Every structure is written in C-alpha cells, then in structure tokens.
Structure 1
Amino acid sequence: MHSRQPLSCFVIACNESDRIEDCLKSIAGWADQLIVLDSGSQDNTVEIARKYTDEVYQTDWPGYGPQRNRALTYCKHDWVLNIDADERLNPAVKAEIDSLLAQQNPNFNMVKIPWQTYLFGKPLNHGRYSTPQGKLFLKTGVQFKNSQVHETLQMPEERIHVLKSPIAHHSWRNYQHVQEKHLKYAYLLAEEKYKKGKRSSIAFACVRFFTDFIQQYIFRLGFLDGKRGFFMALILGQYAYHKYAALAAITMESKVKEDKVV
C-alpha cells in the first residue's frame, strides 16, 4: 500500500500500439487506478492496454477536451494524473509525486512536470517543448476546456507546484509525423478561431512564421540545442504559418460562399 494519497491515472489513446506499452509499463503497479480511454484504434492498442489494466474503455472521438473530460468521470480518486501514450514516467518523477501526495495538508492543487521532449532520437533541453506541463491535479471543480486541440485544464484558484524531475515525451515518430500532427492541429485551431469570429490573411501567416521561429530559436534559447533546436524552431514557425494560412483559406472560402448567396 502507498503511504501517499491514492492516485487515479488516465491515458487517452488511438492507434498507439507502437508507444503505449512503454507508457503503461511506467505507470502500472504504481498508480492506484489506471484508465485507458480508446477512441476506435484499428491496431492492437486495446489488447496491449488490457495487459496493464482492467479499466479499458472504447468510445468515439469528440475532440481532445471532451475526451479528457470523459476520462475524468472514470477517476475515482481525488488526485488525478493525466498522461499521454507518448509520455513515460521515470522512478525519480514517481518518487517526487509520492513525496508530495504524502503531505497531510498540501498547499497546491496542481503539479506541473517538466517535459523532456525528444526530437529525432535526442532530447530538446530548451524552448517551448521543455515547458512544465500541468499533469497532476486535484480534480475537485476542474474540467478541461471544451476544445478540439490544445485543451487546457480549467480550475478555480490554481496553486502550482513544479517538479524537478522531467517526464520523457516522445511526441513524434519521425519528420513525417511531426508535419502530419502539426498540420492536423493547425487546421482544427483555425476552424475554432473562425467560429469565434477571428480572421487572417496570408501576409499575417507569413509574419507569424518568422516571429514564432525567432521566439523559439532566440528568446526561448532553442539555438542551444544545436541542429535539433534549429529544426524545432523551423517546425514551430511552419506550425504558426499553417494555423493562420488555414484561417485565411477558410475566410476566403466562406467569402466566396457568401457572395454566391447574395
């Protein structure tokens, strides 16, 4: 039995058979409750997950925010750890969490864990993808933002503690996966922005490529990661460009439709 407060952990997944086993191995037997919420995997993700927990549920895909909120409903303990299939917990992270949750009256309700994100086989130590992420939280009164992507956790009176040990983050399988993932996210974000009344132009998209590149490479010290840091800055510049180019394209398409109606 753990001397700390009990902990629920959930993983949302779809077609993650090449990565989810390492994730679940790092959690199973340590978390008091392990939940996997699958959204229609066509590979053997579900079969792998069932090796590590009896709580494997299959659903449709409503978007990242709604899916994480669904997962929250299965969590029976007050403290919840939200881990993705491309993340791994090492013993140092788990020891820090055990120590924190052993406190009688903790003065925090959110624990952020530094990311150690890998790009093409080696970690990035600077920039956007090293920022601590809010992974562990007290679930009372919280919910994820109801968005398709980049869903943030909304909670009253957030009190944060940041761990020292990082969580391993293997976000991209290869360069093709980087581009496919970011292009998908960019279009989803563009659709959300358009629905909220925001508009863009191709000129602004081009400006955002350069500003986001400079922010990552210079101001967030990406240059200290060498070739990988330069690659990551270019990728994030492309990501920003695609978000606003997609918004510009949606804007133009909608204008054509409006003109036809008139």
Structure 2
Amino acid sequence: MITGIIITLNESKNIKECIESLLQVCSEIIVVDSESTDNTVQIATELGAKVINQPYLGDGIQKNVGLDYSTNDWVLSLDADERLTDAAVQEIKAIDLSNTPHDAFALRRKNHIGSRWIQQCGWYPDFCIRLYNKNKTRFAAVKQHAAVQASNPYRLNADIIHYSFEDIGQLFAKPGRNFSGRAAKIMYEKGKKANALSPITHGLNAFIRKYFFQKGFLGGVDGMTVSLSSAINSYLKYAKLLELQRDPKVLEKENFNKIW
C-alpha cells in the first residue's frame, strides 16, 4: 500500500489531475497545503484527500510534513503539476514493496513548457526519487531543491510528466515563485558571500553549462530560452545576495521568516 503526498499553494488548476494520477497506485492521498486562497483545499477534500494546513517551511521540510499522517510505509511524492505516465503506473504496480532490497525508486521526469517536452539543457532524463520507504529515508530537510536521501535506490524504466511552465513568459516569472530571491535569502542565512563579479560569472557559467555542455543548442529557440532563463536566474540570485550584504535598508525590510 502506498500513500501519495502533494504539497500545494494555490494549485486549483492542477490538483484534481494530480490526485487522480496518484489514485491509480495509492490507497490514500495527503495534501499539505500552504494556506491556499483559491479552492485547492475544496477540490482535494472532495476527491477524498486528507488535507493538512501548514504554512510553508521550505521544500524538503514541507514535503516531510505529510509523513506523520501517512498510514503506509511507502510514500509516493508528486508536485501538483506532475502526473504519472501509464508506464509509471505499471512499473509501480509491478514492484513487490513488501519484499524489496531497495529503500526508494526513481523515475525519469519529462519537463514541459506548454505542451513541449524539453529534452536538452539537463531537463531530461532528470531522474527523481519519488517513491520511498518513510521508515528508511525521506527528503533532506532543506528549504530549496530538496531530494530524497536514499542509500539503495533503483531507477524505474518509466517517466512522470512535469508541466513545469505554461509558456515561455512563465519560465521567466512563474507566479508566486521568486526563485532567485528565495535562493539569495537562503544563501545569506548560511553566511555565503558574493562580490561584484559573482552575478556575472555565475550567470555566464549557467548559460554555458545549459547551452553548450547540456546541449541546449540542439533544442532550437526553447533550448536558447531555457539557457537564458537559467543565466538570468543565477545572475539575479547573486545580485540579490550582494544587495543583502551591502544595503542595510534592503536587509532591514526583508522578512527571513517568509520563504516564498
């Protein structure tokens, strides 16, 4: 038996399909909601999910909240904008979870912009551990880019679909997701330092990595766009960190208790 766990914040557009996807392999669904102001909670409740209200604590910490409410040892974690493919459903159903040497299972993630599957820039195969035994492992308790810390994972030959961004515009400014600002705050709290060259060097390195080493040039306009967005995000992350270090007025008004 598997428990599906989803963390949400204003995901009324996505939550129904995500829950329905998980119900193909899960006996219960837990939604950990970060005080949504739309009807995310209502939709989830109507579909039979157990909803836990929890102000956002950070990526890995938030994803672990639902573990205390799970009645099953095995957990399948999806973001609200992710779906299981038919192949993933079949692969998961074929696992003997009561008699496996593995503490977790990874799936390839097919990241999309709109309906376009982006195969370059490191966006595929993008293996992610999503099915794991909560008694043996869990997400790292970090505030951003958390991953399951498994000791003996196995890679399944199947994908999950990730509707990352609705369009190119959202790639640069996804509503409610200030990635660079959040990352800068996390780095500042950890004591990391930036200098005047940091934004430029990190931004340039991000573009070179995505466009050349991860073959974004093979992806045409989308490959270039993803590479540029990565460069801009990296540039802004270090520019904002530098601003926090050198501008007392900006630092004073920043709320470090609010991660989003």
Q: TM-score band (shorter)?
A: 0.7 to 0.9
Q: Which residue of 1 aligns with 2:144?
A: 149
Q: Which residue of 2 aligns with 1:239?
A: 233
Q: Which residue of 2 aligns with 1:106?
A: 100
TM-score (normalizing by structure 2) = 0.88
Hey, what's the Cα distance between the residues in 2 that align with 1:103 and 1:137? Answer: 10
Amino acid at match of 1:239: N
Aligned match for 1:81, one of 73, 76, 86 = 76
Following superposition, the deviation at residue 84 of structure 1 comes to 0.5
Q: What are structure 2's unaligned runs of at least 5 residues?
A: 253-260
Aligned match for 2:191, one of 197, 200, 203 = 197
Following superposition, the deviation at residue 51 of structure 1 comes to 2.6
Hey, what's the Cα distance between the residues in 2 that align with 1:146 and 1:247? Answer: 22
Amino acid at match of 1:203: L
Hey, what's the Cα distance between the residues in 1 that align with 2:185 and 2:121? Answer: 27
C-alpha contact 1:201 1:248 (8 A) present in aligned 2: yes
Following superposition, the deviation at residue 111 of structure 1 comes to 1.2
Amino acid at match of 2:40: T
Q: Which residue of 2 aligns with 1:159?
A: 152
C-alpha contact 2:25 2:93 (8 A) present in aligned 1: no
Q: Which residue of 2 aligns with 1:3?
A: none
Q: SS at the partner of 1:50? A: helix
Following superposition, the deviation at residue 255 of structure 1 comes to 10
Is 1:92 matched with 2:92? no
Hey, what's the Cα distance between the residues in 1 that align with 2:39 and 2:98? Answer: 41
CA RMSD of aligned residues (A): 2.2
Is 1:30 matched with 2:22? no
Aligned match for 1:52, one of 32, 35, 47 = 47
Aligned match for 1:21, one of 7, 11, 16 = 16
Distance 1:70 1:199, change over 3 A: same
Distance 1:105 1:141, change over 3 A: closer
Q: Deviation string for 1:202-258 (max 9, x for gaps)? A: 422111111111111111122222221111111111111111111111111259989
Hey, what's the Cα distance between the residues in 1 that align with 2:116 and 2:74? Answer: 32
Q: Which residue of 2 aligns with 1:248?
A: 242
Hey, what's the Cα distance between the residues in 2 that align with 1:92 and 1:174? Answer: 26
Q: Deviation string for 1:101-130 (max 9, x for gaps)? A: x26632321211111011132001123322
Aligned match for 1:119, one of 113, 117, 133 = 113
Q: Deviation string for 1:159-214 (max 9, x for gaps)? A: 12112221100112233432234971221221121122211124221111111111
C-alpha contact 2:130 2:148 (8 A) present in aligned 1: no
TM-score (normalizing by structure 1) = 0.87
Amino acid at match of 2:113: L
Hey, what's the Cα distance between the residues in 2 that align with 1:212 and 1:82? Answer: 28
Q: Deviation string for 1:115-169 (max 9, x for gaps)? A: 10111320011233221111111111434333322123334xx112112221100
C-alpha contact 1:113 1:135 (8 A) present in aligned 2: yes
